[in-house]
Amino acid sequence: MNEKKALLVVSFGTSHLDTLEKTIAAAEEAISARFPGVVMRRAFTSGMIIKALRQREGIEIDNVQEALARLAAEGCTQVKVQPTHIMNGDEYEKMLAQAAPFAEKMALSVGKPLLTSVQDFRDVCRALMAQLGAPAGDEAVVFMGHGTGHYANAAYSQLDYMLRDMGWKNAFIGTVEGYPELSEVLRRLEERPELRRVRLYPLMIVAGDHAKNDMAGDEPDSWKSQLEQRGYQVECCLMGLGEYPAIREILASHALEAERYG
């Protein structure tokens, strides 16, 4: 019997190499550490990012299909696929669709995205709270999620609710491309006149374009600028979720719990 095993860690991707190392690469290492002796590979689901990395940096990254085809050609018979995606949305579904044809060629198992079970939400809240420290009475903690048109977008509201439920009454989650938007966050902040300071964090695995520009940029429409225009004292932290050791551990535990696919 010759069972050749591999681990494929799948991320949306980023073209910002600084955050790539600190977040995606760090998460890959944390997940890989749970499977000693098993070869680990990287794939991205964003075709746009794969193309940008190829053109701008000369770096080749596989998509899920390419990575699995390569592993199959190398004789791998058991492959565990773990996403670093935050939610069960479009990118996760794309990952499953690209993996599906390989279920006939190899024993595939697939782990869940970061925010799947209610316990995952609790674990993520704990990770955020432990890493960031509780806000002072006049201070709000605002997270910028990506947001999506997929129904999985509801995860943001559940996480927002749970943060408050677990004691962080000054925490607010908004998104760039979904609901709630910054306008909802601004309105909720106004309902709490005692809040004068804001700490801003990305609620994304990487701190890439959205975090650097849409959140913390100096353009007048960035979240930082819009909050400052309303008189808040704003502090931005460009730390992607992949930099939180406790978040990486949740992803690693999902890989351990990966279930047979196909």
The catalytic residue among 146, 150, 210, 254 is: 146
CB atoms within 10 A of CB 149: 11
Task: Return the ∠ at Cα 142 (arms to 240 and 223), rounded to 5°.
Answer: 85
Q: How far apart are CA 123 and CA 250, in angstroms?
A: 7
Alpha helices in 33-177 (DSSP H): 47-57, 64-73, 90-99, 118-132, 155-165
Sheet of strand 107-110: strand arrangement? 39-44, 5-11, 78-83, 107-110, 259-261
* Phi, psi of 134, deg, nearest 5: -65, 140
Tokens of 104: 């006939």
Tokens of 82: 């773990």
What would the DSSP string read from start to end of 108-130?
EEEPPPSS-SHHHHHHHHHHHHH
Is 16 catalytic? The answer is no
Please give the positions annotated as active site. Answer: 146
